[in-house]
Structure formats: C-alpha cells, structure tokens
Amino acid sequence: MEPVKIGLLGLGTVGGGSVTVLTRNAHEIARRAGRGIRITHAAARQYEPERIEGIEQIDRISDDAFAVVDDPEVDIVIELIGGYSPARELVLKAIENGKHVVTANKALIALHGNAIFAAAQAKGVMVAFEAAVAGGIPIIKAVREGLAANRIEWIAGIINGTGNFILSEMRDKGREFADVLAEAQRLGYAEADPTFDVEGTDAAHKLTILGSLAFGIPLQFDKTFTEGISRIEPQDVAFAAELGYRIKHLGITRRAADGIEMRVHPTLIPHRRLIANVDGVMNAVLVKGDAVGPTLYYGAGAGALPTASAVVADVVDVVRALTTDPTNRVPHLAFQPDELTDTPVLPIAAVETAYYLRITALDRPGVMASIAGILSEEGISIEAIKQKEPAAGEMTVPLILLTHRVREAAMDRAIARIQASDGVSGEVVRLRMETLDG
C-alpha cells in the first residue's frame, strides 16, 4: 500500500523532533499503523537543517504554509507552528480541503477548538491534539478512552513544565527566578511568550481542554480562573514546608454540586502525595474517576522528542482510522458532539477550597483574637496556626493560618476585613490548599 503523505507546518523544536521520530522509528511505526508514513511537503519560515535528524527524507520544504494545506497530495497536515494566527486559518483551510489534522497547539484548541471540531465533523475529518496537553504523556487518550467507563470527579495536574522547573529550582537550589527561566528557554521548554508559562495562561489552555474531556462541556478558556507563580515568595515556600506542604502550580477541574470548577493557581499540597514530588520540567496529572479511583500519569511535558512522541502517536491513530466511518470515530471532546452539556463553569468566588494565609501582624495582645473573630463571623474554621518570632528590631510577625474548606467569596470578605483591621499591616497573602486525597 502507498505510504500516507504528511504535510508538516513548522520545523522548530517539536517539528524537528517529529521528523526525527518518524525517521528513526519508521519501521516500527509502519508496523503499528499498517502503512508507511512519509513527510512529502513541509513549510517553515526559518529552521536549522543541520540540527534535524532525518530532514533529508522530506521531499519539498518551502516557507509557504498555505501551499502545504492546499497540496492535493497531502493526506494529513501536522500543525506545529503554534499561536492563534495563522495556525487557525491554516487548520481551517486544511479541513476545508478534506485533510485530517494533527496539532500540538493548545492555545488554538482551547480558544478555537469548538469551531474547528464543528468544521471537522461537517467535513468528516479528524483533528487530533494529544501533544497539546502535558507533552509526551498520553493524557488525552487516557481521559477520553481509557477512563470512558467513569464519571470523572476531578483532575489536578502539573501541566506546565517551565513553571514546575522554576518552582523546583528555586526551592531546591535557591536559584533566581530569571536565571531558571532563561535556562528553560534555552532548553526549548518555555513558550515564545514566557509570561504564558509563569502567569498560568499555558496551563489554563491545557486545563480548558482537560475540563471539556472530563465533563463533556464545550471549551471555555475565558471562564478558566488563572493565577501565576510570579508572586510566590521564598518565605511562603519555607512556611509551607514546615507545615508539611509543597507549593505546586496546579490546574484543577472539579465537578461541584452547582457547576464545574476550572482553575489554575499555586496550590499547597501535602508533601507525601506522589504528585508533590514531581519536580523539574516533568508533568503529572492526577485523575479521579468514580469507578477506578485516583490514577496518576507522569512524564515529560515538553521538549522535542517527548512532544513528538505524542504528535506521531496521533498520526498513527489517524492512519488507522482513515477508512472508518466518521460517526464511529472517537469524538473530539470524548462525548458525542450532541451530548455536550451547558453545565456552568463556576466563577472563582463560588469555588470551595482550603487556604493558607500569611498575615503580617503587630506583636501585641488582641490581634490574633480579632483575626480569629473575623474568620469565625465569616464561617471559616481554622485548621492550624503558626506564629513566628519577630525578627530583631521588628514590631511585626508573620502569622500563618491554615483553614478548612470554605467558599472563596467568604474568604474574600474575611481577607478584606483582616486587612482593614488594627494591628495588621500590608496585604494578606492567600494561597489555596488541596489535599488531593482519593
């Protein structure tokens, strides 16, 4: 049988890695797919041919991406340009031309996935996006297929390698934020705009996708709450450790009584949890299903070959399904398109979680009692309190409080009142806390 012909958009870190994997493992891949797979046409604005193993296999390379999606020979387009535009126009054009698409573009899927999937469904083509979430970890396959028997209860994941690398290096080696970020950029992990990593946008793109797959709702990136790691202070990392917790930048989606939670924020988690020990650029996703219980998926969330592993696995999946009836294929968002629900995504004020608070208080009688009074009036129960010694010559002390679960709106009210009260100076630091138990 003729090999399947691929049009490749982008020859950067992941594009180059995909060429290498398709070349290096060509024989194994053909044995799995049932056909050979050849990149016949590629487009890239700039690339370094000497750094891409297998590049000589590609028949034609130009800088015209639209020529690739319009090439009548091409069966499957792999989009590895990233960003919203022109990736969106290219993917929609490829679909219009009847081509299947494989993409690693989480921003594109999170923001425009609903329209892209509708167009693909109308045309009877597949859009595969395993590499869009957690790089090399087959988490989309796991949630969409492996856990299809379950009512998913929640997902919590470390889904940005750069952010995890920064937090790990700062904690373990006391390195500077900017220095670690520069290293992540050199290694090809960081986004083109690194604020996407540090402020949680990249994780929010991925969480949006996971939330839809888990709960059968349309993609709603604009409703995902996002808070980054740039304001984490070394003293909070140290206090958390003293109390038996680690701070991880988590994406959390949960089925609550009145809607779906979708939130990315720094989170204290017990240090004994496996996921608390996922360090460096590695990713891990914890999925709780009602039948299976908690399951954990771990691996490289970024980098050339790990991400290429997911891209090429998608190509194999598409090749295997080329001759299937489109209505019998795995639905893009795990649930049949007419079975997606309008269950609301909850605003952060309606989310319930536990909290770590660091309050800068004057070291004098009555301050603690007044803070405890405010918390009690807002219905917030204290789980632990720690007061540090004042530093030499200082009149204030850091007061650390852990609370039981409460709605964020009540915590917002309490924090506003504490900040306005006598004996408290500056802003209250608030970090959310999750036990992540089964």
Q: Under the rule (CB under 6 A), what is the footprint of ligand HSE?
A: 135, 160-162, 189-191, 197, 202, 301-302
Would the annotation count 9 as a binding residue? yes
Return the number of the residue (182 or 256) whose C-beta is nearest ligand HSE. Answer: 182
- Report, in Å, the least distance between residue 7 CB and ligand HSE: 22
Rg of the chain taking only CA atoms, in angstroms: 24
Phi, psi angle pair for 417, to nearest 5°: -70, -40
- Report, in Å, the least distance between residue 31 CB and ligand HSE: 29
Return the number of the residue (158 or 276) whose C-beta is nearest ligand HSE. Answer: 158
- Report, in Å, the least distance between residue 202 CB and ligand HSE: 5
Return the number of the residue (252 or 346) whose C-beta is nearest ligand HSE. Answer: 252
Helix (H) or strand (E) holding 112: helix 106-123
CA distances from 184 to 17, 199, 303 (A): 17, 15, 10
Contact 366, 241 (CB under 8 A): no
Return the number of the residue (162 or 253) whose C-beta is nearest ligand HSE. Answer: 162
- Reduced to 3 DSSP states, what percent helix, strand and coil does the chain have, rounded to the nearest 5? 40, 25, 35
Q: Which residue has the tokens 């590629």?
A: 42
Q: Is 206 a catalytic residue?
A: yes
CA 334 to chain centre: 18
Would the annotation count 13 as a binding residue? yes
| SS3 category, 299 | strand
- Report, in Å, the least distance between residue 395 CB and ligand HSE: 42
CB neighbour list of residue 203: distance below 8 Å, 6 or more residues apart: 159, 160, 163, 226, 249, 251, 264
CA distances from 292 to 5, 78, 226, 283, 289 (A): 39, 34, 29, 21, 5
Return the number of the residue (109 or 397) whose C-beta is nearest ligand HSE. Answer: 109
CA 372 to chain centre: 36
CB neighbour list of residue 246: distance below 8 Å, 6 or more residues apart: 171, 240, 268, 269, 271, 276, 277
Would the annotation count 424 as a binding residue? no
Would the annotation count 82 as a binding residue? no
**Whole-number Å distance between alpha carbons of 139 and 298:** 9
The active-site residue out of 5, 206, 248, 288 is 206
| SS3 category, 296 | strand
Would the annotation count 327 as a binding residue? no
CB neighbour list of residue 339: distance below 8 Å, 6 or more residues apart: 216
Return the number of the residue (125 or 204) whose C-beta is nearest ligand HSE. Answer: 204
Return the number of the residue (121 or 283) whose C-beta is nearest ligand HSE. Answer: 283
- Report, in Å, the least distance between residue 51 CB and ligand HSE: 19
**Whole-number Å distance between alpha carbons of 229 and 235:** 14
Would the annotation count 362 as a binding residue? no
Would the annotation count 216 as a binding residue? no
- Report, in Å, the least distance between residue 313 CB and ligand HSE: 16
- Report, in Å, the least distance between residue 381 CB and ligand HSE: 36
Would the annotation count 223 as a binding residue? no
Which amino acids are annotated as binding site for NADP(+), given as ranges?
A: 9-16
Which amino acids are annotated as binding site for NADPH, given as ranges?
A: 106
Tell me which residues are annotated as active site. Answer: 206
Which amino acids are annotated as binding site for L-homoserine, given as ranges?
A: 191
Which amino acids are annotated as binding site, given as ranges?
A: 9-16, 106, 191
